[in-house]
Structure 1
Amino acid sequence: MTALMNRIASLLWTLAVLVVVGGVGLWAYRHASLGAAMLLQEGGGYLQAVLSPLLAGSVALAFGLSYSASVVAHRARHRAPRPKPLPKGPSISPLEVLTHDTATAVRTLLKELGQRLRHIAAKPDPDIIAFMGQLMDGAIRLGASDIHIHPLESGTRIAFRLHGVLEEVLSFPREHHSRLINRVKVLAKLALYDLDKPQDGHFPWTTDDGPADIRVSILPTNHGPAVALRIARTGVRLPQLPALGFPDALLAKYQELLALPQGLILVAGATGSGKTTSLYASLGHIQQSRGELTRIATIEDPIEFDVPLFAQTQVNAAQGFTFAQGLRAVLRQDPNVIMVGEIRDSETARTAIQAGLSGHLLLSTIHANSAAGGFNRFIDMGVEPFLLASATVATLSQRLVRSLCPHCRAPLPLTPEEAVRLDAAGIRRGNFFGPVGCERCEGSGYLGRTALYEMLVVSQGIRDAINAKVPSSRIQELAIQEGMVPLLAAGVERARTGDTSLREVFRVVGG
């Protein structure tokens, strides 16, 4: 860019010189022609009337060009060099299950990005455009799902959500917060003067790692506007089901359920428990096993990741386009498989049940504490128990736990508290691993994350219990009697093999 500005300055100087030379030539021609013009008095008056304004105009134009050339040259000399892009490395997908190698790559890139951004922000007049460019490129390279710009009294905290966990990138100077927010508003074409009301928008962003659509949410706070940027990427590589942490027996059974032509499969769990990853991995498995001719449609809010060959629909509640309306419209498109981002109201719940009963395989998420807890959530939303029992084929509940670092994990004895918890849950004691800490995990003892699952397959006994509106605890007991491994027991088994620690399982699952 600096070289281009220098070329423009040189061109402007050249034009200024040419204009001056042309003006002098016209002036000389005018005086040389004065004798002839006196012979032709009428023609001489004409030449004087035309050439005098041309001379004055050429002088003014030359002055303007020379001034413009000086300005451009000054800008080129004092223009801060744009920072170099992040070094080439692995581009992490937001849906990718972090291995030990990719987790190390993420940590290295995050440190490099933080140093570059702090270098820009430390200047008296930081280049906000360059700062935002580095911030967005780094977030996409790292596989961040969100960027949080949160103003505090001491400064603005900027953090990425990487695989469900917030990672602070840097603290931005408080005095430049408004400039950073205005840059976001300019990109999203939002009103700069609206400071005391929420705003929503989006803007496209293209990097070497592919295009992305950035959803913008601005919320006024007591220290200034807070911004959340949701990154929706195109062409992401879907994770494979075997890489998510399913036990072999559970994985085989779940894949059998995904091969069913119709029915309702629910994924339960709290926010940030990996439900979206499981849904996308399930859709990817269906696409691979059935072929690309299988029509897969999704209704989401927002569309998390733009996946080729999926017909994805974004709901817009502000304009009256809800999950229920989107689901009814999608059903008229005759898809084979439907994914609904979340079932949160009675209208969507009833429509989903009808879809599961009418020849469609429907996958969705629901907020529930356990696999058995999803049924009463539907009943509370007004769904008839007999329809729910007939349509649902399985519910899957999951949690995310930190994985032990394989380079430093070590056997650790049970603490008295852990022994009491195991005894109370009726789980046998044994040998378990725990965190130690090393350079590769930066002393934390953990590296990456893995998922714990419990899957409730709806049998005839479960259907009878749903029709009878029994409590969730009773349905849980029936499922365990029929062979379901509950979350706590699944977590303890993962702790025995050294995948995670017993303390981490109790922290996430309870018990």
Structure 2
Amino acid sequence: MENLNLLQKEIISKFKLFPFKKDNNNIYVAMTEKHSKLDIEKLRMIYNSNIIPMIVSEDKLSRLISEHSGKDTSLSEDIHFALNSYDLLIKNAVNLKATDIHIEPFNDSALIRLRIDGDLSDYKNLELNEYTNLCSKIKYMAGMDITEKRLPQDGQIIYSLDNKKYDLRISSIPTINGEKLALRILYKDYKINNMIELGFSTNQVELLKNILNSSNGLIIIAGPTGSGKTTTMYSLINELDISKLNISTIEDPVEYKINGINQININMKAGLTFSAGLRSVLRQDPDVVIIGEIRDRDTAEIAIRASVTGHKILSTIHTNDAMGVILRLMDLGIDRHLIVEALTGIVCQRLVKKLCNNCKVTYNANKEEKQLLYLPEAQNLVLYKPKGCIYCNGSGYSGRTSINEVIHFNSKIKEILIEGEGIYKIREQLKVFLDNSIVSCCKKLVVSGTTSLEEYIKYKNQIYGEI
């Protein structure tokens, strides 16, 4: 037992846990179920060792800490530095698969928060001098002006960890309390998943392949911000025969590099916008053009006209459902007849949180819960709900999957869109052609134990409130 070497007073005080044994490269730590995976990752980086959690009661943990409170457990300077360093922040964020880091100043302190599985959680409170030093270091490394704090700025850092590279996109905005920094983490070793792995059903995959096989036309991936549109876009690209096609992308930014296709980063300062890039690409004899997002009338108009003159165009739009895509394009000034002629398919999607397999618990659904799922009252239904443990940072959820609906614009649908009088009536008619709606996809995930009823209710209310 090497207790005395491990009983650093500040660590015990900060984390309220008890490292009690070292064995080779393993450190055994007594903790309660209330401790999070984030705590384990912090200790792993501090000790540079594997952390083995040993779950004990709160009373047992209190006794262990109390019995050794009089020992010499002073914290070394190098560990104190590690607890507050930029490197530790990035390493922990990457290990936790965080997508964003937010550094937010307030009156007398600052807060670091991480976005994990779509949700923000507190990571660390900072004193104002720590916050100022951290912001200056990040801005300097990102090539930003550390003296300019009155205007928004953007920057980039390529960060290496364990022989892997991560692209950090940095943005700053001035607030009344100081600069707020947001760091988006792009995982360079990202593996492009196939459609089944993303959550699409077998029928939906077949429908998507039929849409992709069209010689020309506009394919739109729709959904709110953070719904996985870009991931789905890359998976669709992966379904194409890259070796036989001239494919170009116009993105902001290029998130994942793919061999065999031409990827363009837009540069607003240099005048390389989506519309300017699209005009240039169309002079390069393309078979397929991928536009990161249709944001303005100019881009929409060029994309629509290109798709009806022999090109296959893929893009994304921020809308809530299929009809929202058409309305958005009409709002941009595109004629409905031209939109209908151009559209080949629409994919609408959202991301739903998956229950943690290490702690989810079963229960028998009651009458009201069966009604929410439109299932017979007599049916014996076992559902799952979140609990929370050290492996899911106490949230009860770990990872996300997509819930989707797919529309292939055949002649019948185009006829409805052209002749339809009211928007709401068209929406109702389009429901018949949806291959597994978002709500029905989510229902299947609830019944299979992949997600919770709470997640289903959240998305059911959103969708039914919109359609």
TM over 0.5: yes
Superposition TM-score tier, normalisation by shorter sequence: 0.7 to 0.9
Residues 55-103 of structure 1: per-residue CA shift (max 9 Å, x gap):
xxxxxxxxxxxxxxxxxxxxxxxxxxxxxxxx99xxxxxxxxxxxxxxx
Counterparts of 1:129 and 1:261, CA distance in 2: 56
Q: One-letter code of the match for 1:225?
A: E
Match in the other structure for 1:204: 158
Provide the residue aligned with 1:74 in structure 2.
none
Residue 41 of structure 2 is matched in structure 1 by: 112
Equivalent residues in 2 for 1:395-414, closer than 5 Å: 395-406=346-357, 408-414=360-366
CA separation in 1, counterparts of 2:170 and 2:312?
33
Question: What are structure 1's unaligned runs of at least 5 residues?
Answer: 1-86, 89-106
Query: Contact (CA 8 Å) 1:231, 1:304: kept in 2 or not?
Result: no
What per-residue deviation string (whole Å, max 9, x for no partner) do you get for residues 306-331 of structure 1?
33333222223344322111111222
Q: Alpha-carbon deviation of 1:354?
A: 1.8
Q: Quick one: distance in 2 between partners of 1:506 and 1:486?
A: 14
Q: Structure 1, residues 259-308: CA drift from partner, whole Å, max 9, x if none?
A: 3332111111111111121112212222xxx1434333221222223333
Higher CA-based Rg = 1
In structure 2, what is the equivalent of residue 480 of structure 1?
Answer: 431
Letter in 2 for 1:211: K
Q: Deviations over 1:8-38 (max 9, x none)?
A: xxxxxxxxxxxxxxxxxxxxxxxxxxxxxxx
Identity of aligned residues (%): 31
Matched, 1:180 2:134: yes
User: What are structure 2's unaligned runs of at least 5 residues?
Assistant: 1-24, 27-35, 49-74
SS state of the match for residue 355, structure 1? helix
- Give the Cα separation in 2 of the matches to 1:486 and 1:502: 17
Question: Which residue of 326, 329, 335 maps to 1:384?
Answer: 335
Read off the aligned partner of 2:413 and give its amino acid letter.
I
Specify the alignment match of 1:489 in structure 2. Answer: 440
TM-score, with length taken from structure 2: 0.75
Q: How does 1:79-478 map to 2 (within 5 A)?
A: 108=37, 111-113=40-42, 116=45, 127=81, 131-286=85-240, 290-406=241-357, 408-414=360-366, 416=368, 418=369, 421=372, 431=381, 433-437=383-387, 439=389, 441=392, 444-468=395-419, 470-478=421-429
TM-score (normalised: structure 1)? 0.69
The structure-2 alpha-carbon separation of the partners of 1:364 and 1:117, relative to structure 1 and needing over 3 Å to count, comes to: farther
The amino acid of 1:348's aligned partner reads T
- Residues 215, 370 of structure 1: alpha-carbon distance in 2 compared, 3 angstrom cutoff: same
Match of 2:53 in 1: none
How far residue 397 of structure 1 moved from its aligned partner, in angstroms, is 0.9
Q: Distance in 1 between matches of 2:364 and 2:107?
A: 43
Q: 1:477, 1:376 → 2: CA distance?
A: 15
Q: d(CA) in 2 for partners of 1:113 and 1:292?
A: 45
Higher mean displacement: 161-170 or 172-181: 161-170
The answer to which structure has the higher helix fraction is 1
Deviation digits for residues 390-427 of structure 1 (CA, Å, limit 9, x no counterpart)? 111111111111223445342432363x566556xxx7
CA distance in 1, matches of 2:417, 2:117: 35
- Structure 2: distance between partners of 1:224 and 1:258: 48
- Determine if contact 1:410/1:436 at 8 Å carries over to the other structure: no
Q: 1:483 to 1:149 in 2, by over 3 A?
A: closer
Indicate how the Cα distance of structure 1 residues 293 and 149 shifts in structure 2: closer, same or farther if over 3 A, else same: farther
Shift of 1:495: 2.0
Which protein has the bigger strand share? 2
Judging changes above 3 Å, is the alpha-carbon distance between structure 1 residues 124 and 223 closer, same or farther for their aligned structure 2 residues?
farther
Residues 29-60 of structure 1, C-alpha deviation per residue, up to 9 Å, x if partnerless? Answer: xxxxxxxxxxxxxxxxxxxxxxxxxxxxxxxx
Q: Deviations over 1:78-132 (max 9, x none)?
A: xxxxxxxxx99xxxxxxxxxxxxxxxxxx8477414774799x996997599822
Asked if structure 1 preserves the Cα contact closer than 8 Å seen for 2:37 and 2:392, the reply is no
Choose between structure 1 and 2 for higher RCO, CA contacts under 8 A separated by at least 6 residues.
Answer: 2
Judged with a 3 Å threshold, the aligned counterparts in structure 2 of structure 1 residues 249 and 131 are, in CA distance, closer, same or farther, namely same
For these two proteins, the number of residue pairs brought into alignment is: 399
The amino acid across from 1:227 in the alignment is L
Distance 1:428 1:344 in 2: 45
